[in-house]
């Protein structure tokens, strides 16, 4: 099983350097159980120590704003000593949920279907029975098929927005059983996409890809942030269409969710450039926010209105403990934490040139914050290539193995297929996975990416990558379709082609 700790990063790894810098600079996020909390957040919730709560994963990216690298020096940075006094030292660990491992009974019984019926022609064996019989004769290949897995990036690999990348459809058919063994090859989806509940997103993807996708094999950027609901009660949730991210936060168990529209409906002067429609006013949930402390900001998805969202976020970051209408005397010690679901600068869409994504929004925000306050913003960024996201992927993959093969075990040979070297590939490489870079998305370079080369190679598309990986694990002559005409009962041991 791959592990991911400092020693895996190698001496030159930039993430290792930032992680160790952070461990000196930061204390812990407010602990769910109290024992690890060093910071002085007053907003900790009392949570029973049931031993089944979130797992706290050490941060691998620095929690300090990136903006400095992208801007001229606008103001003096605070000294290390000043920074140590920050109560906002939450960046050292990222909580992720423990997966709900469901015990499942082994596969369905097909007894009776193959029994002889006197006087009637034999029942044609079902595809599942045929596949089981084929698999019985091919132990080694079956073992190898269950010992490999794919982790798919979505945008730029399987789809562009709502448009199918045709090879993606074929890949899922192969992995769902249209292969020589008729076997399911384990695979999960790990996207930095966001903005709607998991069930709605897999429903949409299943339709585009013409294959069933389960929420149990699906992780989007904010999925692991579900764990944060155990740390914060009143949160501002930013991004996404309409009120979909409010729905996401409700599903994750956040108790008191505020979205920017609620605040604009309370005081329209807070966003002077916003044209607020009657419909928006009717659907918002205004309250007297001058009497409420917002405990944390969760940027779940891309902002649909940069001006309004940035204004409200900056107002809250500069406020006294998240109380709108106030300005903190000390911008660091009274600042509430801010979390982003992912950090990609660019996202491939239907548009020919990749569009700016949450990372670009964040860097803009960091620069504004620094310009206005003179201090760097500390923040946490989930999503690929953050370690917490990969650890969570392991949890999901092991659960999925149990679901499809009744075997709660991580396969040894995991292949990450992605289009973004700075996200999918760097993360997969550091986590010890084989990485495949495809040319259908963000990457448009030469032989391989120079900074973050894919370890297994660069491929024209996802189908080529999957076929190359399956040939490596299952044999160069492995066939990518299931031959339903084959009858192992009749052919018996003569099926030498299978082994
Ligand atoms: O960067 C935004 C997001 O849409 C990327 O998704 O699937 O390429 O990780 P994905
Ligand atoms: Mg992608």
* Same-domain status, 237 and 209: no
Average pLDDT over residues 9-23: 38
- Flag the least confident range among 59-73, 358-372, 431-445: 59-73
pLDDT for 68 equals 58
Mutate to test the pocket of ligand 1, among 150, 151, 153, 358 (most ligand atoms within 8 A of CB): 153
Q: Would 5 be classed as within a structural domain?
A: no
State the pLDDT at residue 46: 43
Distance 155 CA to ligand 2 centre (A): 4
Residue 115 in domain: no
Binned at pLDDT 50, 70 and 90, residue 122 comes out as: low
Same domain, residue pair 473 and 369: no
Whether 301 and 229 map to the same domain: the answer is: yes
Same domain, 166 and 237: no
pLDDT at 218 over 50: yes
CB 77 within 8 A of CB 376: yes
Across 19-29, average pLDDT: 38
The mean pLDDT of 182-186, rounded to a whole number, is 95
Q: What is the pLDDT of residue 177?
A: 94
Is 56 a residue whose pLDDT tops 70?
A: yes
CA of 156 to the centre of ligand 2 (A): 5
Indicate the range of 59-68, 186-195, 218-227, 308-317 predicted with least confidence: 59-68
How far away, in angstroms, is 402 Cα from ligand 1 center?
A: 27
Mean pLDDT score, 335-355: 89
Does residue 361 belong to any structural domain of this protein? yes
86: confidence class by pLDDT, cuts 50, 70, 90: very low
Ligand 1 near 440 CB (within 6 A): no
Q: Which residue's entry shows tokens 């997103």?
A: 201
Is 319 inside a domain boundary?
Answer: yes
Q: Are residues 375 and 396 in the same domain?
A: no
Q: Are residues 243 and 352 in the same domain?
A: yes
What's the sign of the alpha-carbon dihedral 129, 130, 135, 141?
negative
Question: Relative to the alpha carbon of 156, which ligand is closest?
Answer: 2
**What spacing in Å lies between the alpha carbon of 175 and ligand 2's midpoint?**
20
* 204 within a domain of the structure (yes/no): yes
More confident of the two residues 444 and 14: 444
User: Of 13-17, 75-79, 405-409, which one has max mean pLDDT?
Assistant: 405-409
Residue numbers of the domain that contains 253? 223-381
The pLDDT score that the predictor gives to residue 326 is: 97
Q: Is the pLDDT of residue 42 over 60?
A: no
In a domain, 95, yes or no: no
Name the residue of 208, 221, 361, 382 to mutate for ligand 1: max ligand atoms within 8 A of Cβ.
221
Q: Do 376 and 423 have their domain in common?
A: no
Cβ 449 under 6 angstroms from ligand 1: no
Total-model pTM: 0.79
Q: How confident is the model at residue 92 (pLDDT cuts 50, 70, 90)?
A: confident
Residue after which a domain boundary falls, among 381, 411, 431: 381
* 306 pLDDT above the threshold of 80: yes
In the predicted model, is pLDDT for residue 40 greater than 50?
Answer: no
105 vs 187, higher pLDDT: 187
pLDDT for 304 equals 97
pLDDT reported for residue 347: 84
% residues pLDDT > 90 (the chain): 65
pLDDT of residue 357 exceeding 70, the answer is: yes
> How many whole angstroms from 349 Cα to the centroid of ligand 1?
9
pLDDT at 187: 98
Q: Is the CB–ligand 1 distance for residue 343 below 6 Å?
A: no
Tell me: do 360 and 437 sit in the same domain: no
Mean pLDDT over each residue of the chain, to the nearest integer: 82
Name the token pair of 142: 């079956």
Residues 353 and 258 in one domain: yes
Of 381, 404, 423, which residue constitutes the final position of a domain? 381
Residue 170, domain CATH:
3.40.50.1000
Q: Which atom of ligand 1 is nearest to the CA of 344?
A: 1
Label residue 265 by pLDDT band (50, 70, 90): very high
Output the pLDDT for position 354.
83
Lowest mean pLDDT among 6-10, 227-231, 300-304, 418-422: 6-10
Is the four-CA dihedral 205, 209, 215, 219 of positive or negative sign? negative
| Chain segment 282-297, per-residue pLDDT in tens | 999 999 999 999 999 9
Last residue of a domain, one of 352, 381, 410: 381
324 and 426 share a domain?
no
Atom of ligand 1 nearest to the CA of 383: 9
Instruction: Write phi, then psi, for 95 (nearest 5 degrees).
Output: -70, 140
Q: How confident is the model at residue 485 (pLDDT cuts 50, 70, 90)?
A: confident
User: Domain tally for the chain?
Assistant: 2
Q: Is the CB of 341 under 6 A from ligand 1?
A: no
Q: 111 in a domain, yes or no?
A: no
Residue bearing the CA closest to ligand 1, atom 8: 155
Residues 321, 213 share a domain: no
Residue 2 has pLDDT above 50, yes or no: no
The confidence score (pLDDT) of residue 463 equals 98
Task: Give the number of the atom of ligand 1 that is nearest the alpha carbon of residue 156.
Answer: 8
Q: Of the bound ligands, which one is closest to the alpha carbon of residue 193? A: 1
Same domain, 326 and 454: no
Assigned domain for 466 exists: yes
Can you give the pLDDT at residue 118?
A: 54
Ligand 1 pocket test, pick from 153, 155, 386, 418 with the greatest ligand atom count within 8 Å of Cβ, gives: 155
Q: Is 357 in the pocket of ligand 1 (CB under 6 A)?
A: yes
- Averaged pLDDT for residues 306-322: 98
Share of the chain above pLDDT 70, in %: 77
Look at residue 324 in the predicted model and tell me its pLDDT.
98
381-401 pLDDT, tens per residue?
A: 999 999 999 999 999 999 999
Q: Among 25-34, 72-81, 455-464, 487-496, which stretch is predicted with the lowest mean pLDDT?
A: 72-81
Reported as a single tens digit per residue, the pLDDT across 235-261 is 999 999 999 999 999 999 999 999 999
The residue-averaged pLDDT of 36-54 equals: 47
């Amino acid at each position: 099983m791959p592990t991911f700790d400092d020693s895996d990063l190698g001496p030159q790894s930039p993430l290792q350097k930032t992680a160790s810098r952070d461990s000196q600079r930061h204390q812990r996020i407010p602990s769910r159980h109290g024992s690890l909390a060093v910071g002085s957040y007053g907003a900790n919730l009392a949570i029973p120590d049931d031993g089944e709560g979130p797992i706290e994963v050490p941060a691998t990216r620095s929690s300090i704003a990136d903006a400095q690298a992208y801007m001229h020096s606008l103001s003096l940075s605070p000294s290390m000593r000043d920074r140590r006094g920050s109560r906002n030292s939450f960046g050292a660990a990222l909580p992720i949920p423990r997966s709900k491992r469901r015990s499942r009974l082994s596969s369905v019984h097909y007894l009776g279907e193959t029994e002889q019926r006197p006087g009637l022609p034999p029942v044609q064996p079902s595809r599942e029975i045929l596949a089981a019989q084929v698999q019985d004769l091919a132990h080694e290949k079956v073992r190898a098929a269950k010992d490999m897995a794919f982790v798919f990036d979505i945008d730029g690999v399987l789809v562009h927005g709502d448009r199918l990348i045709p090879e993606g459809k074929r890949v899922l058919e192969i992995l769902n059983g249209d292969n020589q063994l008729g076997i399911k090859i384990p695979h999960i989806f790990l996207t930095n996409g966001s903005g709607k509940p998991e069930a709605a997103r897999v429903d949409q993807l299943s339709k585009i890809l013409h294959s069933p996708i389960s929420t149990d094999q699906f992780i989007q950027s904010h999925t692991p942030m579900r764990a944060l609901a155990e740390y914060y009660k009143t949160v501002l949730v930013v991004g996404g269409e309409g009120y979909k991210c409010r729905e996401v936060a409700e599903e994750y168990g956040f108790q008191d969710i505020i979205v920017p529209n609620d605040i604009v409906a309370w005081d329209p002067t807070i966003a002077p450039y916003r044209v607020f429609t009657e419909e928006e006013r009717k659907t918002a949930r205004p309250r007297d926010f001058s009497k409420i402390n917002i405990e944390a900001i969760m940027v779940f998805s891309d902002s649909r209105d940069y001006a309004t969202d940035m204004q409200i976020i900056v107002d809250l970051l500069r406020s006294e403990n998240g109380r709108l209408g106030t300005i903190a005397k000390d911008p660091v010690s009274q600042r509430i934490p801010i979390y982003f679901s992912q950090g990609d600068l660019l996202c491939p869409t239907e548009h020919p040139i990749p569009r700016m994504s949450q990372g670009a929004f964040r860097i803009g925000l960091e620069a504004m914050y620094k310009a206005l306050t003179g201090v760097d913003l500390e923040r946490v960024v989930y999503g690929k290539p953050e370690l917490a996201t990969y650890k969570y992927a392991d949890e999901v993959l092991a659960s999925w193995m149990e679901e499809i093969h009744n075997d709660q075990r991580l396969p040894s040979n995991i292949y990450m297929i992605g289009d973004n070297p700075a996200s999918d590939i760097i993360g997969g490489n550091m986590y010890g996975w084989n990485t495949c870079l495809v040319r259908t998305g963000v990457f448009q370079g030469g032989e391989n990416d120079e900074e973050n080369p894919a370890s297994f190679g660069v491929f024209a598309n996802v189908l080529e990558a999957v076929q190359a990986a399956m040939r490596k694990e299952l044999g160069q002559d492995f066939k990518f379709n299931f031959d339903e005409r084959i009858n192992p009962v009749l052919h018996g041991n003569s099926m030498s082609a299978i082994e």
